[in-house]
Amino acid sequence: MPTPRQFSKKTSTSNMLRLKSGDAGNQRPYRVDFVLLEHFSMASFTVAMDVLVTANLLRTDSFTSTPLSLAGDRVLSDLGLELVASPLAPRSLQDLDLLVICGGLRTPLKYPDLDRLLGDCASHGMTLGGLWNGAWFLGRAGVLDDYGCSVHPEQRASLAEISPQTRITPASFTLDRDRLSAASPNGAMELMLGLVRRLYGDALAEGVEEILSFSGARYRQVGPGAKKSMSLHLRTIVELMENNLEETLSLDQLATYSGRSRRQIDRLFQAQLGTSPRRYYMELRITKSRRLLQYSDLSVMEVAVACGFVSVSHFSKCYAAYFGYPPSREQRLGE
């Protein structure tokens, strides 16, 4: 019997859309439940769900998922929209594969009942995850010791204090054995694609990514002067830059955390943004420094430190090169 040819990536995805329910085999669906905390990031949650739902379109019954609430049957998101959720009952988690804590920028750092729940889940070998600042709650519960994780920059220092044995990375997402975490909506997409790849292989993950790539721009914030939409890989690198302005990352570190080589990173920036990674990083820092000067009461020295400059003189030189005048002459709009 002749060996079947392999479809190209694009055609393979089109054919995967025509899989029948029996093609998934007898494997039971991987069960993922999301605990939605008050003011959770709607974008992070929905993009994570997008990945799982799309995976089910390509491979029937790959995942099941349920949004859960710690109190009541509705949870208020960061957009002010309420989402219907099922009350969390520990007994309902018995057959769960992955429990994800969904936080947000304004999610209060409370919920002490989560500590025992997460501890019990970990003791039973359950995989645990966190979106946005969800990893903070995992760290407080003591289930992140000796794990790497990603958490929103606002909670990095606090997480390091309450969970000193946790390795906090500047990456937008981290898959470390049975702990999964993402610090942003784009990171949530990459995280769930990584989960799909781990469970079902590259073909399904690539198919999901191809289908969702057209809508990826919903979760991107195009940087200063950039008019073109960014690919998912470039978006990941840019988020690393945006989340690490005070302590900047080297190109080698960007390559390590993004899984791309230095040459690949340079090509992505040149092809899609028409500039180099180094220059784009500088533009992000200079743009942030101008906002701080205009709308905060920070001194020039404090702004320089907050934007990763080693000295005021170097900051002033770079600032003047972009705006034509030193930072000391910037208009203070917030005063």
Residue range 245-298, pLDDT digits in tens: 888 889 998 998 888 899 999 999 988 888 899 999 999 999 888 888 887 888
Is residue 193, in this structure, part of any structural domain at all?
Answer: yes
Residue 50 has pLDDT above 70, yes or no: yes
- 8 Å CB contact between 70 and 112: no
User: What pLDDT shows up at residue 25?
Assistant: 54
User: What pLDDT shows up at residue 296?
Assistant: 81
15 pLDDT band, cuts 50/70/90, is very low
Indicate whether 190 and 226 sit together in one domain. Answer: no
Is residue 124, in this structure, part of any structural domain at all?
Answer: yes
The fraction of the chain above a pLDDT of 70, given in percent, is 86
Query: Residues 180, 151, 208, CA angle at the centre, nearest 5°?
Result: 45
Q: Which region, left, alpha or beta, applies to residue 125 given φ > 0 means left and ψ of -120 to 50 means alpha?
A: left
pTM (global) more than 0.85:
no
Is residue 153, in this structure, part of any structural domain at all?
Answer: yes
322 pLDDT band, cuts 50/70/90, is confident
Indicate whether 66 and 170 sit together in one domain. Answer: yes
| pLDDT tens-digit map of 191-214 | 999 999 999 998 899 888 878 764
User: What pLDDT shows up at residue 213?
Assistant: 66
Indicate whether 165 and 233 sit together in one domain. Answer: no
Indicate whether 235 and 335 sit together in one domain. Answer: yes
Residue 226 has pLDDT above 70, yes or no: no
Indicate whether 134 and 73 sit together in one domain. Answer: yes
Residue 188 has pLDDT above 80, yes or no: yes
Residue 23 has pLDDT above 90, yes or no: no
Indicate whether 136 and 159 sit together in one domain. Answer: yes
User: What pLDDT shows up at residue 232?
Assistant: 79
Indicate whether 236 and 173 sit together in one domain. Answer: no
Whichever domain contains 82, its CATH number is: 3.40.50.880
88-107 mean pLDDT:
89
Indicate whether 194 and 243 sit together in one domain. Answer: no
Indicate whether 110 and 59 sit together in one domain. Answer: yes
Q: Is the dihedral of CA 244, 248, 253, 255 positive or negative?
A: positive
Cα(113)–Cα(123) distance, integer angstroms: 16
314 pLDDT band, cuts 50/70/90, is very high
Any idea which of 55-69, 96-110, 177-191, 207-221 has the lowest mean pLDDT? 207-221
Residue 333 has pLDDT above 80, yes or no: no
Domain that holds residue 163: 9-208
121-143 mean pLDDT:
95
- 8 Å CB contact between 211 and 138: no
Whichever domain contains 268, its CATH number is: 1.10.10.60
Widest Cα–Cα separation across the chain = 79
Indicate whether 160 and 225 sit together in one domain. Answer: no
Domain boundary, last residue among 174, 208, 242: 208
Is residue 189, in this structure, part of any structural domain at all?
Answer: yes
User: What pLDDT shows up at residue 246?
Assistant: 85
Residues 6 or more apart whose CB falls under 8 angstroms from that of 212 comprise: 50, 51, 54, 189
User: What pLDDT shows up at residue 222?
Assistant: 38
Is residue 174, in this structure, part of any structural domain at all?
Answer: yes
Any idea which of 58-67, 133-142, 159-168, 232-241 has the lowest mean pLDDT? 232-241
Indicate whether 56 and 177 sit together in one domain. Answer: yes
Residues 6 or more apart whose CB falls under 8 angstroms from that of 179 comprise: 127, 128, 129, 138, 143, 144, 147, 148, 149
DSSP 25-60: TTPPPEEEEEEE-TTB-HHHHHHHHHHHHHHHHHST
Residue 223 has pLDDT above 50, yes or no: no
Residue 216 has pLDDT above 50, yes or no: no
The fraction of the chain above a pLDDT of 90, given in percent, is 48
Is residue 213, in this structure, part of any structural domain at all?
Answer: no
Residue 6 has pLDDT above 80, yes or no: no
Q: Total structural domains in the chain?
A: 2
179-188 mean pLDDT:
92
User: What pLDDT shows up at residue 334?
Assistant: 56
Residue 72 has pLDDT above 80, yes or no: no
Strand spans (E) along the chain: 30-36, 63-69, 74-76, 82-84, 86-87, 98-102, 127-131, 148-149, 167-168, 173-176, 179-182
User: What pLDDT shows up at residue 245?
Assistant: 86
Encoding tokens for residue 258? 């993004």
Is residue 158, in this structure, part of any structural domain at all?
Answer: yes
Residue 31 has pLDDT above 90, yes or no: yes
Mean residue pLDDT across the chain: 84
Indicate whether 235 and 161 sit together in one domain. Answer: no
Residues 6 or more apart whose CB falls under 8 angstroms from that of 252 comprise: 262
